Amino acid sequence: METISVSKLLTLYFFTVLFLCSNLIQCSVTYDRKAIVINGQRRILISGSIHYPRSTPEMWEDLIEKAKHGGLDVIDTYVFWNVHEPSPGNYNFEGRYNLVRFIKTVQKVGLYVHLRIGPYVCAEWNFGGFPVWLKYVPDISFRTDNGPFKAAMQGFTQKIVQMMKNEKLFQSQGGPIILSQIENEFGPVSKALGAAGLSYTNWAAKMAVGLGTGVPWVMCKEDDAPDPVINACNGFYCDYFTPNKPYKPTLWTEAWSGWFTEFGGPIVQRPVEDLAFAVARFLQKGGSYFNYYMYHGGTNFGRSAGGPFITTSYDYDAPIDEYGLLRQPKYTHLKDLHRAIKQCEHALVSSDPTVISLGTYEQAHVFSSGTGKCAAFLANYHSNSSASVTFNNRHYDLPAWSISILPDCVTDVFNTARVRVGTSQIRMVPSNSKVLSWETYNEDISSLEESSKITASGLIEQLNATRDSSDYLWYITSVDISPSESFLRGGLNKLSISVNSAGDAVHVFINGQFLGSAFGTNEQRSFTFNGPANLRAGTNKIALLSVAVGLPNVGFHFETWKTGIIGPVLLHGLDHGQKDLTWQKWSYQVGLKGEAMNLVSPNGVSSVDWFIESLATQGQPQLKWHKAYFNAPDGVEPLALDLGSMGKGQVWINGQSIGRYWMVYAKGACNSCNYAGTYRPVKCQLGCGNPSQRWYHVPRSWLKPTNNLMVVFEELGGNPWKISLVKRTIHTQISSEPNTKN
Ligand code: GAL
């Protein structure tokens, strides 16, 4: 009852302020050394990241409502330049990219927004959010003191700010946006760039501030953020952080609630006890704004995942899971934390703490609100021993590595290590939807050379050719083999081919026959394919299908990194030694023929003759298109495709891309947790020996009741007949008594 009335009051307050702002008085957001100040009031602000393109508009309101119910004040999102401006001057703000609708939904629910415009966002997003065409602007160099880059960045930033102003979305206009971010984690890059880095930082700040939004600007991980821009912290812990000026508040823009997954990597989880401890520790040191990165991670639909090798799922072990369901105990434990924090809000923003030692590892931070009221945080920093402490003549038990919150300096209302909620039992259960009768079409690789429109002497960098219009680029050449070569007569020489790639994967075909594949990893994109070459006397066709698995999103001048076959491409074992094919004539085909024919969509699917595959008709196991129709499952539970029987590729439903899939198995140190210095586990790694991602989110709103088209492009070989549509269900036990896991 109490929480309902508090939340009703807050909503009332929000709408009253909105009314006043738009009608009677000027609204404002400022800051002082203690906090962000909204309409004259210092606030403790609890924020969570939800990225609008990582879910569907149909999901937004529910996600934001759940965030509000979880105790959040603010929704934080990046703005993703590459989805909004797919080609210069052509803008897209429709569907999942409807930024204004997203912000208005947050406003409707009654929360604030932190708009992180970037426009560099990192975020495990393709190319860090930059449009690929930007790379081809003459004389450009990204994120430095470079005229063409600054002009483009300013143009996009202005466009977004103007859009927000037109819709009256800044809090200074009565809207929900209380903060904006320019750039993202530029500090480390700036250090590497030296003077150019510093002048770019100053330019970016001045440019942003000059846009006159009426709300403060933030730069995260940028110690040199010039006034009035606030520098903020990102990390698993931020209690060590102080802003670069004594008159700025202490903000934590990314409190990492978990971590992202890579194809080939384990599932990473962050225990909620540790996350809650990190947050409480940040607040007791004087922090007043923190944002969970992510609060809902969502899905990298289409080819939006960066990396390379970031999975389609961006679940992030966040309090709301990829499918929009509550993850327990994370969600409720943080909600309990938020309630306790809000009870201390007045004291926290009114005073600096008095720190009292309670033992070797134990401390009290005491805040007084000046009206005789006080709040205290009691901490035990020992990583594995609990403690019994005396504070104001009372005894308190503190589990190891925990903080208790006493909003009245007496009652322990919350301890970061005492969790009253059980762990969600997640099940992927069969649905009643049967995928009917698969039909197949083999990607045509017999006429590649004839259909190719690009030829060159030597190897072309992949993005130069594709401009990222597809993941795929064919490199095609031919080689003449003399009948006198001894390997043809079973000589001692064994013929082999080696192919050097800058990333991310290659499938090798000779005379239409598949020889094998090779893959890079997120840590080491470049790799060499080595395999026996089945050449014959006369002319042989070599066709290399190079595959990008998401463009890099982080790293020094990542826009200059190469993708695709860079050579050398060598034949080994000929009578005169090796033959270098690198500089001979190559032909290129951008994308797959099936992509060009739009086989993925209901409009283009009939442009070829599909066949029902049987053992007799199977042909090439690689590079196959499969299609089938299915009816929507009943019920309301979120849906996923179980692609455990497949290899690697992409999948579409009714023409919408579900994303890339790959059943590569997770490797690494699994079933273990990392320790950071004296800190407790920040990351636990799970799932080794299983595919990094087996299930792929299918938004319900993408389905019709009947006759839904599913198209799969499979690179390696798999069994589509075993693909199934499953429902995700979650069961959690909530006990009234807290349970200390120490
Ligand atoms: C941060 C970055 C975010 C995201 C995160 C890791 O450094 O600012 O955009 O990439 O790392 O998930």
Ligand 1 centroid, distance to 741 Cα (angstroms):
30
State if residue 124 touches ligand 1 by the CB under 6 angstroms criterion: yes
The residues pairing with 527 across neighbouring beta strands, listed in sequence order, are: 501
The reply to whether 185 belongs to the active site is yes
- Ligand 1 closest atom vs CA 554: 10
Cα angle 40, 46, 50 (rounded to 5 degrees) comes to 120
- Residue 619, domain CATH: 2.60.120
pLDDT, mean of residues 190-219: 97
Strand partners, 552: 307
Average pLDDT across the chain, whole number:
93
Q: At 466, is the secondary structure helix, strand, or coil?
A: helix
Whether 347 and 414 map to the same domain: the answer is yes
Range with the largest mean pLDDT of 318-322, 531-535, 665-669: 318-322
Residues 419 and 332: their CA atoms lie apart, in Å, by 9
H/E stretch holding 448 reads: helix 448-451
DSSP 253-271: EEEE-S---BTTS-EEE--
Q: Are residues 281 and 167 in the same domain?
A: yes
Task: Report the C-alpha gap between 298 and 50 in whole angstroms.
Answer: 8
Tell me whether residue 37 is in a domain. Answer: no
Tokens read off for 148: 């063409």
Residue 443 pLDDT grade (very low, low, confident, very high; cuts 50, 70, 90): very high
pLDDT at 25 over 90: no
Asked whether residue 635 is domain-assigned, the answer is yes
User: Residue 38: inside a domain, yes or no?
Assistant: no
Last residue of one domain, picked from the residues 556, 591, 626: 591
Q: Are residues 61 and 143 in the same domain?
A: yes
Residue 2 has pLDDT above 70, yes or no: no
- Cβ contact 118:152 at 8 Å: no
pLDDT at 364: 98
Q: Which range among 150-159, 487-496, 541-550, 699-708 shows the weakest confidence by mean pLDDT?
A: 487-496
The domain that contains 82 carries what CATH number?
3.20.20.80
pLDDT surpasses 90 at 540:
yes
Query: Is residue 233 in contact with ligand 1, taking CB distance under 6 Å?
Result: no
Take residue 628 and report the two structure tokens written for it.
Answer: 């089938």
Confidence class for position 372, pLDDT limits 50, 70, 90: confident
Same-domain pairing of 202 and 296: yes
Same domain flag for 158 and 127: yes
Here the CATH number for the domain that contains residue 561 is 2.60.120.260
The pLDDT of residue 22 is above 90: no
Q: Is 222 in the pocket of ligand 1 (CB under 6 A)?
A: no
Dist. CA 680 → ligand 1 center (Å):
21
- Using 50, 70 and 90 to split pLDDT, how confident is the model at 585? very high
Domain that holds residue 47: 43-327
Residue owning the nearest CA to atom 5 of ligand 1: 123
Q: Which amino acid is at 282?
A: F
Model confidence over 404-441: pLDDT tens digits? Answer: 999 999 999 999 999 999 998 999 999 988 877 899 99
- Per-residue pLDDT, 618: 59
Task: Give bridge partners of residue 457 from the DSSP assignment.
Answer: 585
Residue 710 within any structural domain of the chain: yes
pLDDT recorded at residue 553: 97
Least Cα distance to 115 among 27, 209, 179 occurs for: 179
Q: How confident is the model at residue 369 (pLDDT cuts 50, 70, 90)?
A: confident
Quickly count: other Cβ atoms within 10 Å of residue 107's Cβ: 22
Whether 736 is in a domain gets the answer: no
- Check whether residue 245 and residue 357 sit in a common domain: no
Radius of gyration of the chain (CA): 28
* Rama region for 124: left / alpha / beta (φ>0; ψ in -120 to 50; rest): left
Q: Is the dihedral of CA 587, 590, 591, 595 positive or negative?
A: negative
The per-residue pLDDT for range 659-688, each reduced to its tens digit, is 999 999 998 778 778 765 556 667 889 998
Q: Are residues 219 and 182 in the same domain?
A: yes
Task: Pick the last residue of a domain from 591, 620, 637.
Answer: 591
**CB-based burial of residue 582 (10 Å sphere; 0-12 exposed, 13-18 middle, 19+ buried)?**
middle
Q: Are strands 74-78 and 112-118 parallel, antiparallel or unpaired?
A: parallel
Check: CB of residue 231 under 8 Å from CB of residue 244: yes
**Closest by Cα among 620, 610, 593, 591 to 709:** 610
Residue 341 CA to ligand 1 center (angstroms) comes to 26
pLDDT for 119-132, tens place per residue?
999 999 999 999 99
457 CA from centroid of ligand 1 (Å): 40
> Distance between alpha carbon 610 and the CA centroid of its chain, in Å?
36
Using the 3D structure, point to which of 536, 565, 591 is the last residue of a domain. Answer: 591
Whether 38 and 50 have beta carbons less than 8 Å apart is answered as: no
The confidence band for 1, taking pLDDT boundaries of 50, 70 and 90, is very low
Ligand 1 pocket member 171 (CB < 6 A)? no
Q: Does the CB atom of residue 122 touch ligand 1 within 6 A?
A: yes
Q: Is the CB of 234 under 6 A from ligand 1?
A: yes
48-95 confidence digits (pLDDT tens) = 999 999 999 999 999 999 999 999 999 999 999 999 999 999 999 999
Q: pLDDT-derived band of residue 281, with 50, 70 and 90 as boundaries?
A: very high
Same domain, 564 and 647: no
The answer, yes or no, to whether residue 651 has pLDDT greater than 50, is yes
Is the pLDDT at 11 greater than 80, yes or no?
no
- Give the CB-side neighbour count of residue 411, counting CA atoms within 13 A: 7
Same domain for 393 and 495, yes or no, is no
Structure-model confidence comparison of residues 502 and 679, the more confident one: 502
Residue nearest to atom 10 of ligand 1 (CA): 123
185 lines ligand 1 (CB under 6 A): yes
pLDDT value for 492: 75
Cis amide linkage into residue 228, ω under 30° from 0 = yes
Describe the crossing of helices 272-284 and 330-343 by its angle, rounded to 10 degrees: 20
pLDDT band at 735 (very low <50, low <70, confident <90, very high): low
Both 209 and 307 in one domain: the answer is: yes
pLDDT confidence bin for 741, thresholds 50/70/90: very low
- Let me know if residue 407 belongs to a domain: yes
Other Cβ atoms within 10 Å of 578 Cβ, number: 13
Q: How many domains does the chain have?
A: 4
Whether 322 and 314 have beta carbons less than 8 Å apart is answered as: yes
Token pair of 257 as six digits? 């609630």
Name beta bridge partners: 586.
456
pLDDT of residue 258 exceeding 50, the answer is: yes
Regarding whether 409 and 513 lie in a shared domain, the answer is no
630 and 498 in one domain? no
Pocket test for ligand 1, best of 79, 80, 81, 124 (most atoms within 8 A of CB): 124
Could you write out the DSSP letters of every residue in 579-632?
Answer: EE-TTSEEEEEES-HHHHTTTTSTTTGGGS--B---GGG---SSSEEEEEEEPP
Cβ(123) – ligand 1 distance below 6 Å: yes
In a domain, 263, yes or no: yes
Point out the least confidently predicted range of 295-309, 415-429, 492-506, 609-623.
609-623
Whether residue 271 is contained in a domain is answered as yes
Q: Give residue 123 CA to ligand 1 midpoint distance, Å.
A: 5
The residue with tokens 């006080």 is 374
The pLDDT value recorded for residue 371 is 79
Q: How far apart are CA 277 and CA 401, in angstroms?
A: 7
Counting residues of the chain whose pLDDT is more than 70, the rounded percentage is 93
The whole-angstrom separation of Cα 617 and Cα 723 is 20
Tell me if residue 449 is catalytic: no
pLDDT over 60 (residue 737): no
Closest C-alpha residue for ligand 1 atom 11: 123
